[in-house]
Amino acid sequence: MQLRFTAPCSPAAAWDAITSPAALARTYAPFLTLHTEDALPDRWSPGDEVVVGLRLLGLVPVGRQLIAIRTRQRGGARILEDAGRPLAGPLAVVTSWRHRMAVSALPDGTTLYRDRLDVSAGVLTPLVWLALWGTWQLRAARLRRTMRRS
């Protein structure tokens, strides 16, 4: 699953948006809410690992997810990767999870944002993909709004 759009902000502002756990939580709310036992960091940093609980509409528990942060630079792109995985709930059928978000400068000072999620769940992969696709579209719309305000 891939998303790509031009964000009307600087690459630094886009990076700030994708490395903010609070901004991440806002991209899913109110459809999904994130809950942790410990406080989330102000900014994601390489090596951060946090287990979050997910609730549908803030009420119905739908599982737990490990968020494991890695960062790197490739050419002019800064890349944030969540190498975690679902731990419990419906998405626990996922056997492979790799989520990468990249920001790079465009000549006009705006930012090219790319977001890719690779998942595998064996024979259930098409169903998982469909369930995630709608969530990904909502997330992208909210992320665009966040970056517009940056």
**Could you tell me what percent of the chain has a pLDDT over 70?**
99
CATH code of the domain in which 100 resides? 3.30.530.20
pLDDT tens digits for range 79-131: 999 999 999 998 899 999 999 999 999 999 999 999 999 999 999 999 999 98
pLDDT tens for 45-68 read: 999 999 999 998 888 988 999 999
| DSSP-assigned letters across all residues of 101-137 | EEEEE-TTS-EEEEEEEEEEBTBTHHHHHHHHHHHHH
Residue 137 has phi, psi (to 5 degrees) of -65, -45
Supply the pLDDT for residue 147.
86
pLDDT of residue 150: 64
pLDDT at 38: 81
Per the structure, how many domains does the chain have?
Answer: 1
* pLDDT for residue 70: 97
Please give the residue that has the higher pLDDT: either 24 or 82: 82
- At 91 the pLDDT is 83
Q: State the pLDDT at residue 9.
A: 94
Confidence at residue 27, expressed as pLDDT on a 0 to 100 scale: 86
- Domain enclosing residue 82, as ranges: 2-149
d(CA 110, CA 21): 23
Q: What is the pLDDT of residue 149?
A: 72
Amino acid letter, 120? S
